[in-house]
Structure 1
Amino acid sequence: MSLRSILGGSGRVKKKSSSTLSSRPSATRSPSSSSASPSPSWASSLPRRKPGAGARTASKRKNFEDDDDFFHDKLDDFGLVAALAVDLSLRDTPQAIQYIRARMFAPVPDAAAGMTSTRISEVLNYRRNLPPISSVAHVQALLSSPSAVEREVAELARRGFLRRIVVPRRGAVGEFVVLASDYEASLRKTTALSDSARENLLKYLASNPDSQVLARDALKPSEIEELVRAGFLTAHHTGGVVHYDAMSGTMGSYARPEDKITLTSLETVSRQAAGSLGTVGGQGALHNAGGSGGGSLSTRALTSSPATEYRLAAPGAGSFLKLVSTALDHLLSLLGKSKFREAPESTLKERWDGGVAKVDDAGHATAKRARGEFVGVLPGQTRKWRQFYGLTFDWVLQEAVGAGLVEVFETRSVGRGVRALR
Structure 2
Amino acid sequence: MDPGAGARTSSKGVGDDDDWFDDKLDDLGLVTALATDLNLRDTPQAIQYIRTRMFSLVPETAAGMTSTRISEVLNYRRNLPPIISIAHVQALLSSPSAVEREVAELARRGFLRRIIVPRRGAVGEFIVLSSDYEASIKKTTRLNEYTRENLLKYLASNPDVQVLGRGALKPAEIEELVHAGFLTAHHSGGVVSYDAISGTMRSYARPEDKITLTSLETISRQAAGSLGTVGGQGALRNAGGSGGGSLSVMAPTTSPATEYRLAAPGAGSFLKLVSGAIGHLVSLLGKSKFREVPESMLRERWDGGIAKVKDARHAAAKMARGESTGVLPGQTRKWRQFYGLTFDWVLQEAVGAGLVEVFETGSVGRGVRAIR
Quick check: 2:285–2:292 contact (8 Å CA) kept in 1?
Answer: yes
Percent of aligned pairs sharing the same letter: 79
Equivalent position of 2:18 in the other structure? 68
Query: Does structure 1 residue 235 correspond to structure 2 residue 181?
Result: no
Match 2:315 to one of 355, 364, 369: 369
Equivalent position of 1:173 in the other structure? 123
Match 1:401 to one of 346, 351, 356: 351
d(CA) in 2 for partners of 1:290, 1:97: 38
CA separation of 1:157/1:351 partners in 2, compared to 1, >3 Å: closer, same or farther?
A: same
Q: Match of 1:144, SS?
A: coil
Quick check: 1:401–1:407 contact (8 Å CA) kept in 2?
Answer: yes
CA separation of 1:104/1:65 partners in 2, compared to 1, >3 Å: closer, same or farther?
A: closer
CA separation of 1:148/1:265 partners in 2, compared to 1, >3 Å: closer, same or farther?
A: closer
d(CA) in 2 for partners of 1:145, 1:64: 39
Equivalent position of 2:38 in the other structure? 88
Deviation at 1:239, TM superposition (A): 2.2
Q: Match of 1:351, SS?
A: helix
Deviation at 1:133, TM superposition (A): 0.3
Equivalent position of 1:308 in the other structure? 258
Q: Deviations over 1:306-356 (max 9, x none)?
A: 711100000000000011111111111000111111000000001001111
Equivalent position of 1:78 in the other structure? 28
Query: Does structure 1 residue 105 correspond to structure 2 residue 55?
Result: yes
Q: Which ranges of structure 1 fall in alignment gaps of 5 or more residues?
A: 1-60, 282-288, 296-304
Equivalent position of 2:3 in the other structure? none
Q: Which ranges of structure 2 fall in alignment gaps of 5 or more residues?
A: 1-10, 236-246
**Larger RCO, structure (CA 8 Å, separation 6 or more):** 2
d(CA) in 2 for partners of 1:210, 1:125: 31
Q: Deviations over 1:235-288 (max 9, x none)?
A: 011122437674343211233566447987698699559xxxx7469xxxxxxx
Q: Deviations over 1:352-400 (max 9, x none)?
A: 01111234xxx4x765314251400111111001100101100000001
Equivalent position of 2:69 in the other structure? 119
Deviation at 1:216, TM superposition (A): 1.7
Query: Does structure 1 residue 155 correspond to structure 2 residue 70?
Result: no
AA paired with 1:368? H
Q: TM-score, normalised by structure 2?
A: 0.83
Equivalent residue runs for 1:262-277 within 5 Å: none
Equivalent residue runs for 1:19-418 within 5 Å: 65-242=15-192, 246-256=196-206, 259-260=209-210, 279=233, 307-359=257-309, 363=310, 368-371=314-317, 373=319, 374-418=324-368
Comparing 246-255 with 80-89, greater Cα deviation is found at 246-255
d(CA) in 2 for partners of 1:410, 1:367: 41
d(CA) in 1 for partners of 2:215, 2:89: 31
Quick check: 1:264–1:280 contact (8 Å CA) kept in 2?
Answer: no
CA separation of 1:366/1:211 partners in 2, compared to 1, >3 Å: closer, same or farther?
A: same
Question: Whose Rg is larger?
Answer: 1
Q: Deviations over 1:35-60 (max 9, x none)?
A: xxxxxxxxxxxxxxxxxxxxxxxxxx
CA separation of 1:192/1:67 partners in 2, compared to 1, >3 Å: closer, same or farther?
A: closer
AA paired with 1:113? A
Deviation at 1:223, TM superposition (A): 0.5
AA paired with 2:278? L
Matched positions, count: 336
Q: Deviations over 1:211-249 (max 9, x none)?
A: 100012000001000100000000011122437674343
Quick check: 2:182–2:262 contact (8 Å CA) kept in 1?
Answer: yes
AA paired with 1:387? Q
CA separation of 1:306/1:403 partners in 2, compared to 1, >3 Å: closer, same or farther?
A: closer
d(CA) in 1 for partners of 2:350, 2:293: 15
Quick check: 1:204–1:218 contact (8 Å CA) kept in 2?
Answer: yes
Equivalent position of 2:7 in the other structure? none
CA separation of 1:369/1:188 partners in 2, compared to 1, >3 Å: closer, same or farther?
A: same
Quick check: 2:43–2:103 contact (8 Å CA) kept in 1?
Answer: yes
Quick check: 2:192–2:248 contact (8 Å CA) kept in 1?
Answer: no
Quick check: 2:188–2:256 contact (8 Å CA) kept in 1?
Answer: no
Q: Match of 2:19, SS?
A: coil
What is the RMSD computed on CA atoms of the aligned residues? 2.8
CA separation of 1:220/1:306 partners in 2, compared to 1, >3 Å: closer, same or farther?
A: farther
Q: Deviations over 1:114-134 (max 9, x none)?
A: 111111111111101100000
